[in-house]
Structure 1
């Protein structure tokens, strides 16, 4: 991936040196103890369930905003991985600004927070163990960069474009938030069964994969970012983090009713759909008869 020397985003905050206080881990409603957090981590690892969703459900209420414990600071200029993430975020900003403008709208850029271990978010205590995530309440993507070692060494998905795909997917959730799709999903919680909600979550996640593909399409057309093997890296990453692949590797069995992100084949198909077409309208997973 040709990223060095390109613009870096000003929307990156580095909390790694401060340790990222979680503010006590409260999420509103009932207090969240170690046992609940463990459940969330297990659900995330084996079933791909968003840990923030699990913690919110266990708490009996919506997550309560928490106060940042340290002033915002930029990553060091000589931190290569931080520079990479900042560059990818900047490229998503450029693409989605153009897409929104062409549609007659205005793109509002998300923040991206680098942290280690744990950090406070408006969705509760963010844990590095659950991987990168997007918090709609503060419009921020959170990532512990050590996740990329997990992606390469434990999940078998190496490559810088695989890493970029992860960021683009989370930014895809931000686009959904801006479009009101995330709010509609939240409205469905409690109105449908858990199995039905899981099925809706799969469509939400696959759409974020498609949006990641839309970003890659526009970035390639405008700036020729892709190198030989890049698409294969992203497709491999999509396969490694499919619900069926994660469940088979973690628990030894596949439980389709618990899927929340989609199978490996589905994640590959929707990323490729966005990459090939570059059209947001072609990412309507909620109307698709077949995923």
Structure 2
């Protein structure tokens, strides 16, 4: 089984990225969500199709199936917490124009104002559509949608103007790593159904070897939070805001 270098290039297209650690854990709906996420989650059965190299149609079908699966998972979690849930708009494109305006680069984007996830199919995706890599585009961005629905992104917007440049960088990492952890929580219920094509430990090794991103932080920490959500199976394991800086750098 080959191990790939995973481009952890999914990100949030929003001006707000930071505040200080103590103030970046607002009392929002994320607490209510955490309270119902303890213990083992029931396994999900999701009909996620195969991907054929060179076929944009098969990639679109895969992303759509992943979106349906993630939407059902989080809708059920929000319902159990007594929180309102609304689905994001999902756009799958090979171009640069989207409901969020013009987007650039590979990977996926979350646009808070439109509550939209935009997934770009690139030439690299077509040449080498590694299943888990492609799946993660959806899982990570849904993590940002959860942050939007629970008020985390809005709270950060209020804190942004007073944050120092250094704090913005560090807490951008906190934001992204919580989305990684939420992706792990989703995987704890749905990974078998997705059929990732790689063992979990091998996937984490691949994440650790990815290129470091100024926005996302160190790959080893991204892997740590994704694994924490996966093994914990609960959003309560995803409090990146009060974690030591060494775990979010």
Q: With structure 1 as the length reference, what TM-score do the two structures score?
A: 0.61
CA contact 2:119–2:137 (8 Å) conserved in 1: no
Match of 2:34 in 1: none
Question: Aligned pair in 2 of structure 1 residues 159, 233: CA closer, same or farther (>3 Å)?
Answer: farther
Shift in Å, 1:225: 3.8
Match of 1:173 in 2: 144
Match of 2:207 in 1: 238
Shift in Å, 1:216: 0.5
RMSD of Structure 2 on Structure 1 (CA): 2.7
Question: Aligned pair in 2 of structure 1 residues 131, 106: CA closer, same or farther (>3 Å)?
Answer: same
1:140 aligns with 2:116: yes
- For structure 2, the 5+ residue unaligned runs are 1-8, 16-55
Q: With structure 2 as the length reference, what TM-score do the two structures score?
A: 0.70
Match of 2:63 in 1: 85
Q: Is the radius of gyration larger for structure 1 or structure 2? A: 1
Name the CA distance, whole Å, in 2 between partners of 1:276 and 1:107: 25
Residue 145 of structure 2 aligns to a residue whose secondary structure is: helix
Count of aligned positions:
198
Name the CA distance, whole Å, in 2 between partners of 1:237 and 1:49: 15
Which consecutive aligned stretches of 4+ in structure 1 deviate over 6 angstroms post-superposition?
A: none
Residue 113 of structure 1 aligns to a residue whose secondary structure is: strand
Match of 1:283 in 2: 238
Name the CA distance, whole Å, in 2 between partners of 1:85 and 1:91: 10
CA contact 1:161–1:233 (8 Å) conserved in 2: no
Match of 1:187 in 2: 158
1:149 aligns with 2:121: no
CA contact 1:203–1:285 (8 Å) conserved in 2: yes
Name the CA distance, whole Å, in 2 between partners of 1:228 and 1:113: 25
- For structure 1, the 5+ residue unaligned runs are 1-47, 55-77, 248-258
Name the CA distance, whole Å, in 1 between partners of 2:155 and 2:197: 39
Name the CA distance, whole Å, in 2 between partners of 1:132 and 1:233: 23
Question: Aligned pair in 2 of structure 1 residues 102, 269: CA closer, same or farther (>3 Å)?
Answer: same
CA contact 1:131–1:147 (8 Å) conserved in 2: no
Match of 2:80 in 1: 102
Relative contact order (C-alpha < 8 Å, sep 6+): which is higher?
Answer: 2
Question: Aligned pair in 2 of structure 1 residues 135, 236: CA closer, same or farther (>3 Å)?
Answer: farther
Match of 2:215 in 1: 260
1:272 aligns with 2:243: no
